[in-house]
Amino acid sequence: MKRLSAGRVALAGLAAAVVTSAAPGTWYAHGSYLIMYTTAVALGWWRLRTLRGRARSSFILIMIAETMWLVGDVLYDILESVSVYLCDPVWSGRFASTFS
């Protein structure tokens, strides 16, 4: 399999950023972000196959963090689509406990 050049990956990211900044808050801007971020995470896991030793173990931790961020984004979108806003009660609870 031929490697993607860094320039092509950066160009795809720039295309997603243009869509997101041109129409923030729209479904296609968010979809563009999710597609690009999912692609970046998938490419990271794909790259992990070629690493060995310490570089591999460090990169595994980075990829786990990136994957958890993506899972959080997708979960938030799912909860938001069914009108469940978990961030408000959690934030309010922390705020209230700060001043108690």
Domain boundaries, the chain: 6-98
Supply the Cα-derived Rg of the chain in whole angstroms.
Answer: 18
The per-residue pLDDT for 98 is 53
The per-residue pLDDT for 4 is 64
Tell me: pLDDT of 88 over 80.
no
* Residues 25-48 pLDDT 10s: 788 888 888 888 898 899 899 989
* Residues 48-85 pLDDT 10s: 998 899 989 999 999 999 999 999 888 888 877 776 66
Which pTM was predicted? Answer: 0.69
The per-residue pLDDT for 75 is 84
66 Cβ contact list (under 8 Å, min separation 6): 40, 41, 44
Between residues 17 and 90, the one the model is more confident about: 17
18: which DSSP letter? H
Residue 59: both structure tokens together: 């990169």
